[in-house]
Structures are given as structure tokens and as C-alpha cells.
């Protein structure tokens, strides 16, 4: 990585209020172009996403895009940093602006950023301060919460990396006539370590991480499709080449439905991957 750029990153992390604006061809910043940093779209084999930028150092969870793909949010880590660098990159007026915030998941309309059991709302000047989801969510240890277009929450309640035998859960909470229902545990064919759910905007499928017999590695991703009667179908392993001998997880689909992003841990290093999302319809046709 460019040493000058790395030093700048350290300065930004130490002062989270700072932001950096740079022209596309700034010598201290990797050249970037919109969309997706001038990368050729991937095919059916996952590729490293933005290796000079997003995957230049450890980043997790998987990058989250705004609906117009002109903003990307991800967490960046480094051994020399005590805390995560919480990064937002925005493309505006031929300038890239990098700042630090707390990303986890963005609602389909791009107006809400979910942060476990908290959230931020988009304002005319950026994002609001962190707010609590309130009772009962404020007492639930949520790692990842995603929302459908109807406002239904899907979220996990147990750390995936917990080495104990505790059974994790994925729950949901519907929004009915403007009132949030009490969370309910999702009845689905899952393993013990289910985590990091992603719900399709139309709630036609759910993707999550799990550890089940017959998997490919230390953690695999699975998908279940909504049936005509409203129930959920059997868990389907996403298979190779998406799941590997390594941990693969934290999957999400861009708002246009074209690309699937996830995190891979080769040799315990976090790498953001992306792949054509066509495999979802292929799996749906075989269910």
C-alpha cells in the first residue's frame, strides 16, 4: 500500500471528526472511478473487491452500498489500531470523500443505516447521531440487522465467533399498521451458529452464515426461499466457489440485485469479495 496513504489513514482514525476530499487522480490516493472503482464486474467466480482500496487492509463486515451505489460503507481494521476504522466513501462532483462512521446495514430506500440495536437516519447534511431502536431491541445483543422494503427486521442474537455450544438465533419483527411487533424466532432449518442475516427487499429469500454438517469450511453461507404458503424452504448451501475451506460470511446483495458481496477469511485475514448474484435465481430454480 502507498506509505503516504497509510499514514493519512492513521491520522484519520486518531481524529474521527476529520474527512478527506481528493480529486480522482490525487497522487496520494489510489485512482478511483465510479462505479465500483473502475473494476470489471465479476462473473460466477468470486473476486477480491477493490484490492487497492476496500481490501487494501483488513475490512469487515462486507461492504454496504447505498441504493445509487455512490456511497460505500465498511469497517477497516489494522493491528496497530486499538479500534476499528469505520469508513464511508462517497462520490460527489468528481471527488471522493472519505470519513468515519459506524456502518452495518442500509435499508432498501437508503434512508436508514442499521448498527446492531441502534440506527442512524439520513439527513440533508449526512447522517444523524446514533439512535436506539428502543424496547425490546435495546436489550438484545444484535450483530447484524437488515430490513425489507416493508420494514420487517431480520437480525441475529448470538456472536458467530463464540466457541461455546450456545445456540444462536435469527429473529424477525414485522411493522404492521405502523406498529412494531414483538420479535419472533425464525423457524427454519438452521445450524447452531447462525448469524449475519440478509433479507431480500421483497422478503423472497434470506441469506445467513452458519455451521452445519457437510459444510465446506469453518463457516458457510446458506439461503432459504420463501414458499407460496409463506413458510421458509430448506436451507441451501451456496456451494463452491462461494463457500470455501475458509470462513465465508456476512453476505449481502446490492440494491440493483446484480452483485453479491461477502467477507472471506483466508489465513485469518478479512477480505471483501464480490460475485455475480445470478447464482440466487439458479438456486431458486432448483429448490
Distance spanning both ends of the chain, measured CA to CA = 44
- Write down the pLDDT at residue 89: 67
Q: Which residues contact 147 (CB under 8 A, 6 or more apart)?
A: 105, 107, 108, 112, 114, 153, 154, 199
Q: Whose grid coordinates read 451456496?
A: 238
Q: How do residues 128-185 score in pLDDT, each as one tens digit?
A: 888 999 999 998 889 899 999 999 999 998 654 445 555 678 999 999 999 999 999 9
Residue 222 has pLDDT above 80, yes or no: yes
Burial of residue 284 (number of CB atoms within 10 Å: 0-12, 13-18, 19+) = middle
Instruction: Tell me the torsion sign for CA atoms 210, 212, 215, 219.
Output: positive
Q: How do residues 85-136 score in pLDDT, each as one tens digit?
A: 556 666 666 555 555 554 456 677 778 888 888 888 888 877 788 899 999 9
The three three-digit cell numbers of residue 119, written as one number: 440506527
- Write down the pLDDT at residue 145: 92
Residues of the chain above pLDDT 90, percent? 37
- Write down the pLDDT at residue 164: 52
Residue 53 vs residue 12, higher pLDDT: 53
Count other C-beta atoms under 10 Å from residue 110's C-beta. 15
Q: For residue 21, what pLDDT band results from cuts at 50, 70 and 90?
A: very low
- Write down the pLDDT at residue 48: 87
| Residue 199, H or E segment | strand 195-199
Q: Is 181 helix (H, G, I), strand (E, B) or coil?
A: coil
Question: Which one, of 65, 151, 55, lies nearest residue 105 by Cα?
Answer: 65
Q: Is the peptide bond before 138 cis (omega within 30 degrees of 0)?
A: no
- Write down the pLDDT at residue 56: 47
Which of the residue ranges 14-18, 106-110, 206-210, 220-224 would you say has the lowest mean pLDDT?
A: 14-18
Q: How do residues 229-266 score in pLDDT, each as one tens digit?
A: 999 999 999 999 999 999 999 999 988 899 999 989 88
Amino acid at each position: 500500500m502507498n506509505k503516504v496513504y497509510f499514514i493519512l489513514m492513521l491520522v484519520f482514525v486518531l481524529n474521527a471528526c476529520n474527512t478527506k476530499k481528493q480529486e480522482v487522480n490525487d497522487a496520494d490516493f489510489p485512482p478511483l472511478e465510479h462505479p465500483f472503482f473502475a473494476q470489471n464486474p465479476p462473473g460466477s467466480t468470486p473476486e477480491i473487491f477493490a484490492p487497492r482500496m476496500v481490501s487494501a487492509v483488513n475490512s469487515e463486515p462486507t461492504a454496504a452500498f447505498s441504493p445509487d451505489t455512490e456511497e460505500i460503507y465498511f469497517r477497516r481494521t489494522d493491528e496497530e489500531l486499538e479500534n476499528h476504522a469505520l469508513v464511508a466513501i462517497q462520490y460527489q462532483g468528481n471527488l471522493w470523500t472519505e470519513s468515519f462512521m459506524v456502518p452495518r446495514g442500509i435499508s432498501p430506500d437508503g434512508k436508514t443505516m442499521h448498527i446492531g440495536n441502534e440506527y442512524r437516519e439520513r439527513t440533508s447534511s449526512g447522517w444523524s447521531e446514533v439512535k436506539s431502536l428502543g424496547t425490546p431491541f435495546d436489550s438484545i445483543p444484535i450483530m447484524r440487522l437488515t430490513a425489507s422494503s416493508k420494514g420487517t427486521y431480520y437480525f441475529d442474537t448470538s456472536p458467530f465467533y463464540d466457541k461455546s455450544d450456545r445456540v444462536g438465533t435469527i429473529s424477525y419483527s414485522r411493522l404492521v399498521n405502523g406498529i412494531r411487533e414483538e420479535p419472533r424466532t425464525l423457524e427454519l432449518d438452521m445450524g447452531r451458529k447462525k448469524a449475519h442475516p440478509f433479507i431480500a427487499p421483497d422478503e423472497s429469500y434470506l441469506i445467513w452464515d452458519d455451521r452445519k454438517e457437510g459444510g465446506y469450511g469453518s463457516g458457510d453461507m446458506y439461503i432459504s426461499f420463501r414458499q407460496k404458503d409463506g413458510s421458509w424452504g430448506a436451507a441451501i448451501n451456496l456451494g463452491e466457489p462461494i463457500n470455501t475451506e475458509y470462513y465465508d460470511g456476512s453476505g449481502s446483495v446490492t440494491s440493483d440485485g446484480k452483485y453479491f458481496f461477502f467477507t472471506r477469511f483466508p489465513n485469518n485475514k478479512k477480505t471483501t469479495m464480490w460475485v455475480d448474484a445470478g447464482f440466487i435465481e439458479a438456486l431458486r430454480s432448483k429448490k
